[in-house]
Chains A and B, each alone.
Chain A
């Protein structure tokens, strides 16, 4: 028997599993599975992979440096959605951006004023320390040399008092301008968000068909954030940094220009090096971001499809692919660490060079003559100055980057704000007259979405005021489009849609839609309460009216059984409510408006129980009474209740008449009817 070699193999596998267990985290509970797996022969399946060790993969993952950097640089241009990270400074965009600051000129100038004041104040502190040292503590020069000990202590105390007072003032000023600047940033973000949101509300339905919701969310969240960052950290930060550096320069040159020059000599090369490091860090950081999202996307996909992964024995291969993605991520992370680790030590070493230079230069003056124009206090002050100079210097290149990122975001935001509104009101668009009748007519209407195939091909019909009609036909026949056109979600390419003899394009859109109540196929519920879903957030609708509407459409029953009745919270997308309940709420929503024309997309869904089904049918019947109603019908009962049935097929109207007339014709409708009827009896079995 091959037992011995089998055993040896098993032992080897067990050892490996045990090792893994030690490294990872296998509790005793998970050991059973591991024990099974340990005996697994390595060539059990044809899909088995050759031996693989993570450690070796890690060691092997070292593509040549230059290649790796090039890959990272290439990745650092665009984000996951293919949108650019940054954009060169653009005068036009900047001017338009600064336009948002105009309403807050006063606050802005006040903030900048405080900022400059703070910049002027900060360099005073080392000077005070120098004064204390030189005048009162050392005090070898006149008139301080002749001061007695009490005089010196008094002087010292005064300086300390001034020092503390100025610190307090500085604290106040800094808090003041931080608050002011943040306030400004928030106001601008508020204004921009609101403007964008309002703009989006005005855009035509075709825009939403094309644009993923996620992208719009990015516009009003992260893109706006980038602009806020630019306003507060970027522009204002730049002013603060430049101001502080200016203030420092002023003091340093005033006190001792030679010392100032010596102190500043290291700054340009430092700025250059830090800039370089920042750029490398940024490139690596963006790679990290991109690779993180890639690895996460892979993970999320595998988690969602884990059953498939397992059914197709892909566990090992996918784990290896996941490792690969994570190795790439690891590499980018390490690249970032590599450059970042140089950042602070560079500053530290430069600062030491600067101190050494100051010390040396001061020494050349002090060694021959202690009473030279360089004093001990000055020496200490300049060492502190040079330290103070580093902070704005290290942030400077970041500021420029923030501005570039904001440029890219602004361009996208302005792109959205400048999107033409394809469905706009004509100048002087009409409202509705009180003599509104509710006649709907299509006159040779041709329509296609986005210049694709024709969905409606020359549709002609008139619906008399108060008449109820049902559209029937197979999926894709163009029924839903009819409803979208009455509401003017889209404009027709040929022909016209009229209400009371007037083209819908001549009405004020909002007014038009207020007269046209719509019930959608997928009754969209908003988060809020049951009430707010019926009133659509209009608090002026009294409770009686809400209840009346709900009662009328048979929704009151289940709503009053809810734990908090009409105030029961509704979660996102109406989770927790059944489809039938959602539909009833949608009916109530339409009824509260008391519309003159009713449009209903009525989808018979399989998962509505019989009782609710009957409630819905009854509600619909009541809703149609006395209103011009257009129903996209799927339920037989609905069809029997309407005045007229219009049968559509492939974008054309092929039959019309009432239920009995159409049945007599023995045409398309008859077949549809028989199918529906049989289905219902089938269900009743």
Chain B
């Protein structure tokens, strides 16, 4: 456990000065808060001895107050110091993990579920924070409280102290044991709760089936059954949870009876001597450690959960990015002209070659189309050019230089990629288009955004939205159609004026007329840029100088449109079919 937590230390160490102060305050609090029960006891003895005067009475009252204020103030700052620290630890861990995420490669995010990562960053991080905050300070606090209390108790009466000391572990243990059962039953309850809401979720999502088959009543009955089980499990929980605190009180009562029985004898002079005041102090002291005794069990479980959770967070932090700058990176390379060369490139997925010794050259400024059926390796080529992944074999040269020598950021800066299903962010449309531009005031960005949107044939659509380019995506009501999303992504790529422009089937959701207009606008932009257009529709290749046809990870046909038609292969057949389709759309 300590080994796991060692890496957490750097996060805490930065607050060491504050924490040392906090420790001091914990001791202060322990000292003073255990003094409070002593004072009334002393006063009682003075009453009994008739040594009390009005002046001394004042003194007692003031002392009581002073001690309480000192203890209270100490506690205020203890809590603040430790809790602030724990929130800062959470902040720093989140900061580091986010930064780490931004360095990890695309493959990592394909392998990992976002839900799982989120769970780690919320629930697990929460547990770690509790460990670094509440668990530490309540643990220390309880420790010192016990130390001071027992010190004072032994000073008052050894016999009574021994009784308390004997019963205290019993109480803690009983609490701990019941808590374990409570925890288990609580998990059963949560489980059933997920079942209930999952069933409801399915029912609501599949309401067409439910209604279509008229099985509403059966569904209501099933829901009732699940709910009944939920109620049952809840009541099972209540059966252990409900008596927990009454039982603790009973155990305290039991100890109290013993104290009363033995203490009474001592006060009466049998087997020792104890004054009434001392006895009262003892009782008050005992009352003061009742709740801390209970909280010991709780702190234990916090420690346990926090450690496991930190282990899970560490798994993320120790992931090594597969695509990253390394020793071979040449930071002198700051720009890309646009020549792309694949030299014998192969990529395998699960033993199957997804790209099989592919070689080709795309000259700077050339426009090349890539087509082929689903799974033929088109997107893989795109990802390799943008260095989202690295090949297993072979080499990719950009401007004649191995692309691994380019800083990853530089490559990406000069490659504009438009994916088939673009990911847009829940910002305004303008923000989404300007996503890759340097930070600047909106009015500086606006003309560039507008220009890009015009080429992408998006401007007209956007102007029809109530807030135009300021329309926020993903919030109530506003959702873009597939075609609009693709056009936004096109504008987003264009606005950066990249040297290499890649459309990965980025016009699939756009109708043919709009496609034609986009391509027309692009013709202008394309000049001086390398353009790679991946598409299923031949019409998307009207600006392309050349087309590559892929099949099973190999280039099977290659040439200009006319050459490929003349070849009479896959490409020519696809062209025929699409002619027909366009006739139909006109009809």
Are A33 and B260 in touch, CB under 8 angstroms?
Answer: no
The one of A175, A182, A305, A355 in contact with B234, judged by C-beta atoms closer than 8 angstroms, is: A182
Verify if B465 is at the interface (C-beta below 8 Å from A): no
With contact pairs A322-B94, A489-B211 given, residues A345 and B72 touching in the complex (Cβ less than 8 Å): yes
Are B410 and A44 in touch, CB under 8 angstroms?
Answer: yes
Verify if B482 is at the interface (C-beta below 8 Å from A): no
Residue of A whose beta carbon sits closest to that of B218 = A537
Q: Chain A nearest CB: distance from B242 CB in Å?
A: 4
A345 to B284, CA, bound (A): 18
Residue of A whose beta carbon sits closest to that of B64 = A356
The dominant DSSP class at the B interface is helix
Chain B residues near A22 (CB-CB < 8 A): 10
B175-183, B200-208, B344-352, B451-459 - the one binding chain A? B200-208
- Give 6 CB contacts A-B under 8 Å: A36-B325, A221-B196, A296-B122, A314-B435, A520-B212, A671-B580
Binary contact readout A504-538 vs B (1 if CB under 8 angstroms, 0 otherwise): 00000111111011101000101100000000111
Residue of B whose beta carbon sits closest to that of A219 = B200
Chain B residues near A322 (CB-CB < 8 A): 94-95, 98
Are B246 and A170 in touch, CB under 8 angstroms?
Answer: yes
The one of B48, B88, B223, B249 in contact with A194, judged by C-beta atoms closer than 8 angstroms, is: B223
Q: Chain B nearest CB: distance from A263 CB in Å?
A: 14
Verify if B47 is at the interface (C-beta below 8 Å from A): yes
Binary contact readout B211-224 vs A (1 if CB under 8 angstroms, 0 otherwise): 11111111110111
Q: Chain B nearest CB: distance from A39 CB in Å?
A: 6
Q: Chain B nearest CB: distance from A103 CB in Å?
A: 15
The one of B211, B238, B436, B437 in contact with A178, judged by C-beta atoms closer than 8 angstroms, is: B238
Verify if B111 is at the interface (C-beta below 8 Å from A): no
Are A201 and B72 in touch, CB under 8 angstroms?
Answer: no
Are B321 and A366 in touch, CB under 8 angstroms?
Answer: no
A131-139, A237-245, A247-255, A463-471 - the one binding chain B? A131-139
Are A359 and B331 in touch, CB under 8 angstroms?
Answer: no
Are B96 and A197 in touch, CB under 8 angstroms?
Answer: no
The one of A174, A342, A514 in contact with B76, judged by C-beta atoms closer than 8 angstroms, is: A342
Verify if A8 is at the interface (C-beta below 8 Å from B): no
Binary contact readout B319-349 vs A (1 if CB under 8 angstroms, 0 otherwise): 1110011110101001000000000000000
Are B118 and A213 in touch, CB under 8 angstroms?
Answer: no
Are A201 and B264 in touch, CB under 8 angstroms?
Answer: no
Chain B residues near A593 (CB-CB < 8 A): 213
A156 to B265, CA, bound (A): 9
The 10 closest A-B pairs by CB, nearest first: A352-B68, A36-B325, A345-B72, A312-B436, A167-B253, A315-B102, A178-B242, A305-B423, A201-B216, A174-B246
Chain B residues near A668 (CB-CB < 8 A): 587
Chain B residues near A452 (CB-CB < 8 A): none
Verify if A120 is at the interface (C-beta below 8 Å from B): no
A346 to B71, CA, bound (A): 11
Interface residue ranges of B168-202 to A (CB < 8 Å): 193, 196-198, 200-202
Are A511 and B260 in touch, CB under 8 angstroms?
Answer: no
Verify if A575 is at the interface (C-beta below 8 Å from B): no
Q: Chain A nearest CB: distance from B171 CB in Å?
A: 14
A47 to B40, CA, bound (A): 70
Chain A residues near B566 (CB-CB < 8 A): none
A292 to B90, CA, bound (A): 12
Chain B residues near A307 (CB-CB < 8 A): 106, 109, 388, 423
Chain B residues near A316 (CB-CB < 8 A): 102
Chain A residues near B213 (CB-CB < 8 A): 513-514, 517-518, 536, 589, 593
Chain B residues near A333 (CB-CB < 8 A): 83, 87
With contact pairs A167-B249, A217-B197, A317-B439 given, residues A133 and B276 touching in the complex (Cβ less than 8 Å): yes
With contact pairs A39-B329, A352-B67, A489-B208 given, residues A25 and B317 touching in the complex (Cβ less than 8 Å): yes
Verify if A682 is at the interface (C-beta below 8 Å from B): yes
A58 to B90, CA, bound (A): 13
Q: Chain A nearest CB: distance from B557 CB in Å?
A: 14
A153 to B267, CA, bound (A): 11
Q: Chain B nearest CB: distance from A6 CB in Å?
A: 9
The one of B48, B202, B242, B413 in contact with A182, judged by C-beta atoms closer than 8 angstroms, is: B242
Are B80 and A338 in touch, CB under 8 angstroms?
Answer: yes
Verify if A60 is at the interface (C-beta below 8 Å from B): no
A164 to B255, CA, bound (A): 10
A537 to B213, CA, bound (A): 11
Are B206 and A200 in touch, CB under 8 angstroms?
Answer: no
Verify if B297 is at the interface (C-beta below 8 Å from A): no
Are B65 and A356 in touch, CB under 8 angstroms?
Answer: yes
6 extra A-B contacts, CB within 8 A, seeds A340-B79, A675-B580: A30-B320, A299-B121, A303-B117, A363-B57, A526-B206, A671-B587
A205 to B209, CA, bound (A): 11
Binary contact readout B348-383 vs A (1 if CB under 8 angstroms, 0 otherwise): 000000000000000000000000001000000000
The one of A132, A217, A295, A348 in contact with B72, judged by C-beta atoms closer than 8 angstroms, is: A348
Are A29 and B318 in touch, CB under 8 angstroms?
Answer: yes
Interface residue ranges of A347-393 to B (CB < 8 Å): 348-349, 351-353, 355-357, 359-360, 363-364, 366-367, 370, 376, 379-380, 383-384, 387
Are B228 and A190 in touch, CB under 8 angstroms?
Answer: yes
Verify if A426 is at the interface (C-beta below 8 Å from B): no
Query: Which residue among B54, B409, B581 has the maximum number of chain A CB atoms within 10 Å of its CB?
Result: B409
Verify if B91 is at the interface (C-beta below 8 Å from A): yes
A537 to B210, CA, bound (A): 11
The one of B11, B87, B214, B496 in contact with A513, judged by C-beta atoms closer than 8 angstroms, is: B214
Query: Which residue among B73, B122, B419, B576 has the maximum number of chain A CB atoms within 10 Å of its CB?
Result: B122
Verify if B235 is at the interface (C-beta below 8 Å from A): yes
Binary contact readout B52-85 vs A (1 if CB under 8 angstroms, 0 otherwise): 1110011011101101110111011101100110
Verify if A313 is at the interface (C-beta below 8 Å from B): yes
A484 to B33, CA, bound (A): 73
Binary contact readout A183-221 vs B (1 if CB under 8 angstroms, 0 otherwise): 100110110011001101110010010000100110011
A86-94, A267-275, A323-331, A493-501 - the one binding chain B? A323-331
Are A312 and B214 in touch, CB under 8 angstroms?
Answer: no
Are A379 and B44 in touch, CB under 8 angstroms?
Answer: yes
A330 to B14, CA, bound (A): 17
Chain A residues near B53 (CB-CB < 8 A): 367
Q: Chain B nearest CB: distance from A285 CB in Å?
A: 13
Verify if A435 is at the interface (C-beta below 8 Å from B): no
Q: Chain A nearest CB: distance from B499 CB in Å?
A: 13
Interface residue ranges of B217-257 to A (CB < 8 Å): 217-220, 222-224, 227-228, 230-231, 234-235, 238-239, 242-243, 245-247, 249-250, 253-254, 256-257
A522 to B480, CA, bound (A): 22
Are A345 and B238 in touch, CB under 8 angstroms?
Answer: no
A297 to B425, CA, bound (A): 11
A682 to B103, CA, bound (A): 44
Verify if A98 is at the interface (C-beta below 8 Å from B): no
Verify if B472 is at the interface (C-beta below 8 Å from A): no
Chain B residues near A193 (CB-CB < 8 A): 196, 223, 227
Are A355 and B40 in touch, CB under 8 angstroms?
Answer: yes
A671 to B71, CA, bound (A): 89
Verify if B1 is at the interface (C-beta below 8 Å from A): no
Are A33 and B324 in touch, CB under 8 angstroms?
Answer: yes
Verify if B268 is at the interface (C-beta below 8 Å from A): yes
Q: Chain B nearest CB: distance from A533 CB in Å?
A: 10
